[in-house]
A and B are shown apart, each in its own frame.
Chain A
Amino acid sequence: MNTDKVIACLKEMGFKPKISKFDDKIVIQKLVYLLQLKGIKLGFDYGLYVRGPYSPGLTKEIYLKKGDFEQLRTKEKLSPKEAEAVQETKAIFGEKPALLEVAATYAYFAYEQKRDAISAYKAVKRLKPFFSAVQIAIGVNKAKELLYRPTQEELEMLRKELAPWQAAAEEDMRFLK
């Protein structure tokens, strides 16, 4: 578990949490989950519990290192690639707990359990019926925006579709030389 790196991520986001606030702890839990799915190695184990994807280990660290979290004290530095992933996540979600909660729950089913989109969506609705249909739709779309990776098949289709354009561009380049 790299708690220092979690704090570095929060620092990169400019998010200074107050650990007594319920909202802020939701933001940390769900952000860490999504950042891990995005490829940042933070080392926290997550399971699906009553709160959605949740890491009891992270909760322990948050309470143990409350001061470090609240003051954003860390010795860890993010790589440019990691900082970019954090900035992208910030641009998509901000610090909105409801959106993060829906997105993280959808991500658990769609990207971790690898369920199809409809089944993942239904599972979110079953676990989070207290969110409006609009909140769920936005949260799901934002999770897709953050985590969607085209399959090899889709990349191949895209390559074929763009092949004539690519050839034309190359032809133009030759002509310009």
Chain B
Amino acid sequence: MDSDFLSLIEESKGLNSDVFSLIRLQLLANLAVTGPDGATYRELKAWLELSDGALYSNLGVLKKMGYVKSEEVKIGDKSLTSYQLTREGMGEWHKVNNWLRQFLECGGRK
């Protein structure tokens, strides 16, 4: 148990701690599922029930870190912004996801 936890702590040094906020983790997890299709701003806002301010600023942080990119897409006659994970974003999400799984397993043992 102790050695497991120590290796987890060691591994955590390779993670970007700036993604460890609930909203950013939710954004990464959701955009990882849709891959190259991404999701539109309006879909993310409705799904995560976020205010414009919270969604926009967190997407901005992820974009600045190079984990998310955006593009204009057409749906019917509407022009919308769609967000996708970059290769780096997908890589970071996999790292964080694996680490969180191990973390939960470690904490769950009696």
Contacts and interface: CB of A to CB of B under 8 A. Distances in A.
Interface of A: 21-23, 25-26, 47, 49-51, 54, 56, 59-60, 63, 97-98, 126-130
Contacts of B44: 50
A127 B46 contact: yes
B33 A130 contact: no
Interface residues of B, number: 19
Nearest to A49: B33
A25 B74 contact: no
Interface string B17-43: 000000000000011011111010011
B86 interface: no
Given A59-B35, A60-B35, A49 B30 contact: yes
The majority secondary structure among interface residues of chain B is helix
A127 B40 CA distance: 13
B46 A128 contact: yes
A51 B43 CA distance: 7
A50 B30 contact: yes
A56 B74 contact: no
B46 A23 contact: no
B75 A126 contact: no
B82 interface: yes
B73 interface: yes
B82 A56 contact: no
B33 A54 contact: yes
A56 B46 contact: no
B76 A50 contact: no
Contact of B75 (A54, A56, A97): A97
Contacts of A126: 46
Nearest to A25: B37
B74 A50 contact: no
B37 A129 contact: no
Given A22-B75, A23-B74, A97-B75, A59 B34 contact: yes
